[in-house]
Amino acid sequence: TAAIIDGKAIAKDIRAELKEEIEALKQSGITPGLAVVIVGDDQASHTYVNSKEKSSKEIGIYSEVHRYPADYSEEKLLQKVEELNNDDRIHGILVQLPLPKHISEDKVIDAIAPEKDVDGFHPVNVGKMVIGKDSFFSCTPYGIIKMLEKENISLEGKHVVVIGRSNIVGKPAALLSLMHNATVTICHSRTKDLPAITRQADVVIAAVGIANYVTADHIKPGAVVIDVGINRNDAGKLCGDVDFNNVKEVAGAITPVPGGVGPMTITMLLFNTVKSAKAKAAKIK
């Protein structure tokens, strides 16, 4: 049976490393700062934001959260972003998505200074990733790459099949895999005969959003299976996109849900915030 990749433990190690880096930065007079902005009362979004705030504080990042009601205007939100762009205490700005319908997410993301865009959604950062340059990488796919690195699973020459093409997960997961010299296939809702393609994969990254979608007959024996999905099954229990119990009998390594990719996502947000603060510190020197 497959080795279980313990995302929680890996995340904990990285956060401990970050904590030390933050202490060193503080010695040199810089406290990394993260500002999170949330509009509206989506319960899941508030839970994510609270957890981002708590995790930041735990490792010594200065953290502020700006909570606004659902009818907050686009203009005011853009003003807030501009204010944070110009605030020296803030190295990372994150606007929690989704935003209420009367606000253009594109406009808001475009307004964030690329050098503070720790979510990696600004077109400048996405563009840099496409041309293979360092930038802020989207936290969930970046977390996958870091997790594989920590597990000593190289992507060099491997066939990585990504299921899903969203801008937040699927596409950047494919591009980061390419950056690590994988041969990459992207599958999506219009893909024909998905199992025939995923069975050729050395690494499957599932980011679909359908419980138990990836079954044992999708997987080549020994393959690495990364499950990004966050779903509820019929019993209301949290589960991924992968039929974990059966796939783990075929795969070589697999991430569980919860406790796999999830804990890595916020960790990479903290990582990007520290990276931004370090870049700022280097500029001042």
Q: Does 38 bind ligand NAD (CB under 6 A)?
A: no
* Helix 261-284 and helix 43-58, axial crossing angle in degrees, nearest 10: 50
From 100-108, 128-136, 150-158, 202-210, span contacting ligand NAD (CB under 6 A): 202-210
Q: Does 229 bind ligand NAD (CB under 6 A)?
A: yes
Residue of the chain from 144, 230, 242, 274 that contacts ligand NAD (CB under 6 A): 230
Q: Does 208 bind ligand NAD (CB under 6 A)?
A: yes
230 is in an annotated binding site: yes
Which position among 116, 117, 119, 146 bears the catalytic label? Answer: 119
Residue of the chain from 96, 135, 138, 140 that contacts ligand NAD (CB under 6 A): 140
Residue of the chain from 95, 126, 144, 163 that contacts ligand NAD (CB under 6 A): 163
Residue of the chain from 189, 236, 282, 284 that contacts ligand NAD (CB under 6 A): 189
What is the closest distance, in whole angstroms, from the C-beta atom of residue 187 to ligand NAD in the complex?
A: 6
Query: Distance between CA 56 and CA 285 in Å, rounded?
Result: 25
HSE-CB for 59 with a 13 A CA cutoff: 30
Q: Are 177 and 160 in contact (CB under 8 A)?
A: yes
Q: Does 169 bind ligand NAD (CB under 6 A)?
A: yes
Q: Does 45 bind ligand NAD (CB under 6 A)?
A: no
Q: Does 60 bind ligand NAD (CB under 6 A)?
A: no
Question: Does the active-site annotation cover 43?
Answer: no
Q: Any alpha helices (H) in the chain, and if so which ranges?
A: 7-27, 43-58, 74-85, 105-111, 123-130, 139-150, 170-179, 194-198, 244-247, 261-284
Query: Distance between CA 31 and CA 62 in Å, rounded?
Result: 7
Query: Distance between CA 97 and CA 113 in Å, rounded?
Result: 17
Question: Does the active-site annotation cover 52?
Answer: yes
- Can you tell me which residue has the tokens 């972003």? 81
From 85-93, 147-155, 226-234, 248-256, span contacting ligand NAD (CB under 6 A): 226-234
Question: Does the active-site annotation cover 119?
Answer: yes
x/- track of binding to ligand NAD for residues 248-277 (CB under 6 A): -------------xx--x------------
What CA–CA distances, in Å, run from 79 to 83, 97, 260, 263?
A: 6, 17, 37, 32
What CA–CA distances, in Å, run from 55 to 34, 161, 265?
A: 11, 31, 11
From 22-30, 36-44, 108-116, 207-215, span contacting ligand NAD (CB under 6 A): 207-215
Query: Distance between CA 55 and CA 57 in Å, rounded?
Result: 6
Query: Distance between CA 265 and CA 52 in Å, rounded?
Result: 10
Q: Are 220 and 2 in contact (CB under 8 A)?
A: no
Number of residues that bind ligand NAD (CB under 6 A): 23
Which position among 80, 96, 158, 202 bears the catalytic label? Answer: 96
Residue of the chain from 61, 224, 228, 269 that contacts ligand NAD (CB under 6 A): 228
Query: Distance between CA 186 and CA 172 in Å, rounded?
Result: 11
What is the closest distance, in whole angstroms, from the C-beta atom of residue 51 to ligand NAD in the complex?
A: 11
What are the residues binding ligand NAD (CB under 6 A)?
Answer: 140, 163-166, 168-170, 187-189, 191, 194, 207-209, 228-231, 261-262, 265
Bind-site residues: 164-166, 230
Bind-site residues for NADP(+): 164-166, 230
